[in-house]
Every structure is written in C-alpha cells, then in structure tokens.
Chains A and B, each alone.
Chain A
Amino acid sequence: MAVENPKYIHPLDRHLRTDRIPTMYCPGCGIGIALGAMFRAIDKRTREGLLDPDKIVWVGGIGCSARATLYVNYDAAHVLHGRAISFATGVVLANPSLQVIVIGGDGDIAGIGGNHLVHAAKRNIDMIVVMITNFVYAMTGGQVAPTTPLGVKTTTTPRGNPEPPLNVIKLLASLNANYVARASTTTPHYIESFFYKALGIKGFRFIEVVSTCPEIYGRHIGLRDPVEMYNELKKRIKYKQKPTIEEADISWETGIVIGEFVERNMPSYLELLGKVRVE
C-alpha cells in the first residue's frame, strides 16, 4: 500500500518505511520482533544524544532477515548473498562517523558469508552484526543450513541432516570480537538491552538472535503453529548472567543458553588505524 505522507501511529513507525508495511514476513516470524527491539534501543540511545539517526546504515545480504533493510527508514543497503559484512567494512572505513548495522540470517552470515564473518571478527572492525538464526534457509523454501541440527529432515536432506551444526558463538569467541551475545525472539527485552549495550561500545559486536520460523523450520520439526513454536522455543531458552563458552551449545534437547558470552575491550580496527569515530 503506497501512501504519500504516511501517518505515524505505532510508536516505532518513525523507524519504518510505513508505505511498505505489512512486511512480507510470515505470521509469527521472529524478525519483526527483533527489529522492534532494535528500534527501541536506537530510540533510547538517540534520546541520550549518543546516536545520530542520520548516521545509521543498515546493510543486509539476501534472505528473509536481510530483507529487513527494505523496511527501515534509514540509509540501507540490500546487497549480495553473504557479502554484507564486506560491504559494511568498506562503508565504515570510508566514513568512520557512520554506525553500521549488518543484519542477516544464519545462512547468509555464517554460511556463504562465513569467511567474511571470521575476518571481520578477527579485525575487530567497528560494526554491529545481528544474525537471526532460524536453522534453515527459509526464503528459498527450507534447505539445510550450516546451523541445522543433526538429523533434521529438510528439503535438501530428506533422509535427515548428516552434518553436525556450526556453532557461531563458539567460533567468534575464539576470535578478536569485542562483544558476542545471544538473545532470542521469545525474550525481546534481552535483544533490546544487548543491542543498546552494543550501540555504546566500539569494535566488532555480534548478537545472535534465535528465532521462531513457523512456516519453514516449524514445518520441518512439526511446530507449524506460531504460538506453539514460540512456546516450545521459550521452554528451551535459559538466560545466564555470565555464560561460559562451553554453555554456548544449541540443542533442542538440553536447551539454549542466552546471554553475553564475550565482553572485551580490545582496540577496534579504527582505533588501530588511528581514526577514532567522530560522534
């Protein structure tokens, strides 16, 4: 529905291109919940005077999560599959005053974009990466992803996934990132508080958001109803104050620990280059 001068009704409408709402997301998709939480964190930081909305740039690759860049009322880039982090590296190095947020799914960021993720974390480059994990390639219909648990039947593993999953938190904890956290769409206030914290520190900040995906992943594991999948996921989410890396395993049987796994204060790439971000 294209509207010339959109009215702002919902308190977060300022952050949205309201002429493109409703979004293309399925009913019960967690991406909208994560976006809302991020907008609230941005609001708080803007009110504190620490963030200029004109300097925020959203970068996304390809996939449902990366499509969030189409809906945000900021400078946004919808680029190639897996290459959002490289694009974002160029943006932040060319103009260090910009606050770059990379948003994408687990397939986009940790699959095809895995190499770029590893190097960005190693460099401790100044950006926030929000990876929304739904354990499957949803936009293309439900193919197996690097994070799909062992044994799950997807469209390309009809006899069950023979590969153990990749644990992105454990991978990044071994690199040089300044902030690595995991939240879940069943606990949006943690997404907001982690993102709020990330907006205030430098270096490479990574937040994994475990999300429901009732239409695609829910279909694979027998939880097609949005409320049912939400409740099942919520049962397995456990918040811990200072979780260790060993507790970062994702398992549908033993549970998923959320929290801030890594908090460091290593010099960021811009600091090492001698260019400090101009606030």
Chain B
Amino acid sequence: MKKTFTSGNIAVAEGAITAGLKFYAGYPITPSSEIMEYLAEKLPRLGGVVIQMEDEIASINAIIGASWAGVKSMTATSGPGFSLMAEAIGLAVITETPIVVVNVMRAGPSTGVPTKTSQSDVLQARWLAHGDYIVPCYVPWSVQEAYDLTIKAFNTAELLRTPVIVLSDAVIAHLWEPLVIYDEGEVPIINRKIPKTGEKVIPYKPDPDLIPPMPIFGRGFKAIVESLVHDERGYYAPRDESYKSLVSRLHIKILKRLDYVFDYETYYCSNECEYMLVSYGSTARIAYVAMLELRKRGFKVCMLRLKTLWPLDSEKISKSCNASRIIVLENNMGKVYMDIERIFKDREVYPAPLLSLELPSLREVIEVINTWL
C-alpha cells in the first residue's frame, strides 16, 4: 500500500483504478472535472480508455455500452449533468448493467453555484429515472472514504449487476487529506459472473441469488440488451407475469444483500443517550464536532452517520440507539429527514436543514440543534 496526500476527487479516481476501471467517458463540469483530468492522464497507461464525450447523455450511454463489452466503467458529473443522465440510469437498471456514476453535488437548483456545495441531490440519487427500482447510493465524508466507498461501489455494481451512485460533494471533492492507496490483493475486488463460453445462454435467467450471469459481447452468447420489459429470454413481454416478476426481482436482488450494501457508523451510542444526531457526507464532519462540543457541555448526545444513503436498513437504524430525540442534520431542505422520521416513528424526530454553501460553522450548527434540545 501507498500513503499519499490528495483531494477527494483524486481519491475517487484512485478508488476506481484500484477496483479495475478500464473505461471512462465524461463531460467536464465543476466540481468533478478533476476526476476526468486525472484519469485521462493515468488510465491509458494502465490499458484503459478515457474519452470526453459531447454531453453527459452520451457519456452515460457510452459507459453502459463499455460495461456490456466486458469492462468496468464509470462517469463523474455534478447536479446539472446528473439530471441529464436520468433516462440512462433507468436503462442500466432494466438491463442490469454494472456501472458507477459519481455525482459531486453542488448548490442548485439548475446552474446554482457551481463551485460551492450542497446535499440537495439525495432524493434524485434515490429515484432519478422514471419507473420502479432501487439504486444503491454511497456517501463518503472524507478523502479516505471517497476512495474506499468508490471501491465498494464497483464491488456492489459487479456483485448485484446494478448501477451504483457515489454521492460526493464540492467540499469532499476539493478537500486534501492523507489517503492510503491499496495495492492489488490488499482489498477484495468483486467481478461480475459471466457464463461459461460455449454453453447456451438465457440472458435474463437468474441464478439462485436472483442475479443472472452477464453475457458480455463478443463471446458468442448472442446477448440481448433490452430496454423494453422482457422475459427471461430477453424478448419483449408486455404481460402481467413478466412485468411483475422483473420489477420485483430488480428490487429483491438488492434487498436480499442489504447486509452487504448497508453501511453506517455510530458514535457514543449507549443506553444513556437522550439525543441522537443523524447526518451523512460533508455535513457529518461538522455534526461530529458539534456532538463532541455538546457532550463537553453535558448533553448526552450520540450520532449516527450513514455511509449508505439508499437503500436504508430500517431495522439496523431503529435499533442503533434508544435516544428519545433525533435531529437530522443535512445541507438541504430536509430530505433524508423524511425517511428517518418514518423509521423512528415512536420517537421525536426533528429536521435541521442547514443550507450552507460551504461547511456551516460550529456556532451555527449548535444554534440550530439548540432549538430542538
């Protein structure tokens, strides 16, 4: 392993390289452009391809194509580009294509403030495209975590044959911290299942784990990548049984592995907690400091930090702590608050929408929390 000092954007790029990225197609957009620039320099030397496409729509369609040609692929963008990628996320879901999409959130709506942060895309990350589906979403809070969760995103995508979203933001992107980069063999890397060459392939027939092996192009599998609702053969099937079984399998294959997908951390949770702070991403950095400050002042505060934003494991979250007052701190108008309130239905849950272009100051956060204490 190698220890270096770098930014969140570079950490995402390095994580992708460690995971085995071989194709990157993207479009420059602040604050994610460094990811493409770094990979454009480094990836071709490792046998990969980086291409700047004409827009984000072309980028995400190209990475879906590359994934079907058999390589791990990724793109990175920000809010406006992410909105353009909506239709193609749906395509990746229904064709069960492993891809990783990094959304480095910035202040919106629309062009917003390109160089400053927000966490307002969290519900878009959950349900960007039309239709019924679950897309796993990871949200790092540090440079090291940006690296680790990008590797985990690739592993999740390959294991469950699904698109995965990594939700970084403008603060993490340009933050510089020490980073440990692992060598080959030091961190588990998962690769997609591929049928054995020569055997007859039914493209969408699931194995017992509900995930079909992926018949990549060029090996004589006669694969069908079908965006219409399809049956096991990949043929258009506008019938109730096929529709119900396809949509429910796409959900259940992720929920079955919630143990692998859902990741979180708790700090100072014990039987004596009275208040719990819930946060994620860059806001969790200041929430953590606020928790320490409040504990110094004598309040029994603990904290839950989500590393996986979607899907949420309601059981693990509700059992994490028996604090009676829960405050959800996020840099938007209160989005994940809605789910936390639903999960902790027998407790008092309060929103703390801290709209702030950069990380809010400790005083500001303590002030907001104090209104609920």
A residues whose Cβ falls under 8 Å from a Cβ of B: 20, 54-55, 57, 59, 62, 69-70, 73-80, 83, 86-95, 97-98, 115-116, 118-119, 273, 275
Contact = CB atoms under 8 A, between A and B. Distances in A.
A94 B63 CA distance: 9
Interface residues on B, range: 35 or more
A180 B239 CA distance: 42
Contacts of B59: 86
Contacts of A73: 222
A98 B69 contact: yes
Given A55-B218, A75-B217, A273-B49, A93 B235 contact: no
Contact of A86 (B53, B225, B226, B228): B53
Nearest to B99: A90
B65 interface: yes
B54 A115 contact: yes
B69 A78 contact: no
B51 interface: yes
B23 to A, nearest CB: 5
Given A79-B227, A119-B54, A94 B22 contact: yes
Given A76-B225, A78-B224, A59 B58 contact: no
A273 B49 CA distance: 9
Contacts of B227: 62, 78-80
A54 B220 contact: yes
Interface in B254-283: none
A94 B222 contact: no
A80 B91 contact: yes
Given A20-B235, A54-B218, A83-B57, A94 B71 contact: yes
B79 to A, nearest CB: 21
Contacts of B222: 73-76
A95 B70 contact: yes
Instruction: Rank and list the top 6 A-B pairs by shortest CB-CB distance, nearest first.
Output: A90-B65, A90-B62, A86-B61, A94-B66, A77-B225, A94-B69
11 contacts: A75-B218, A77-B68, A79-B225, A80-B227, A86-B61, A89-B62, A90-B62, A90-B73, A91-B69, A93-B66, A94-B49
A105 B372 CA distance: 60
A87 B223 contact: no
Nearest to A93: B49
A88 B65 contact: yes
Interface in B208-243: 217-228, 235-236
Nearest to A116: B58
B36 interface: no
A92 B217 CA distance: 10
Contact of B62 (A77, A86, A115, A118): A86
A244 to B, nearest CB: 29
Nearest to B51: A93
A80 B70 contact: no
Contacts of B220: 54
B241 to A, nearest CB: 15
B89 to A, nearest CB: 11
Given A76-B225, A78-B225, A78-B228, A91 B65 contact: yes
Contacts of B57: 83, 86
Given A86-B53, A95-B69, 17 more contacts: A69-B224, A74-B222, A75-B221, A75-B223, A76-B225, A83-B57, A83-B61, A86-B61, A87-B64, A90-B61, A91-B65, A91-B66, A92-B69, A93-B66, A94-B70, A115-B54, A119-B58
A119 B53 CA distance: 8
Contacts, number: 119
B293 interface: no
Contact of B63 (A62, A90, A97, A116): A90
B54 A79 contact: no
B61 A98 contact: no
A87 B222 CA distance: 17
B25 interface: yes
Contact of B218 (A20, A77, A95): A95
B282 to A, nearest CB: 32
Nearest to A20: B235
Contact of A90 (B23, B54, B219, B236): B23
B25 A116 contact: no
A86 B218 contact: no
A94 B221 CA distance: 18
Contacts of A54: 218-220
Contacts of A88: 65
A76 B54 contact: no
A94 B223 contact: no
Contacts of A98: 69, 217-218
Contacts of A70: 224, 226, 235-236
B327 interface: no
B239 to A, nearest CB: 13
Contact of B88 (A76, A78, A83, A94): A83
B242 to A, nearest CB: 14
Given A89-B62, A90-B65, A80 B88 contact: yes
Given A55-B218, A73-B222, A98-B218, A79 B69 contact: no
B200 to A, nearest CB: 11
B341 interface: no
B49 A87 contact: no
Contact of B87 (A69, A76, A80): A80
A29 B156 CA distance: 45
Nearest to A77: B225
Contacts of A57: 217-218
Contacts of A55: 218
A129 B44 CA distance: 27
B55 interface: yes
Given A54-B218, A79-B61, A116-B58, A90 B69 contact: yes
A94 B67 CA distance: 8
B65 A89 contact: yes
A273 B43 CA distance: 13
B13 to A, nearest CB: 18
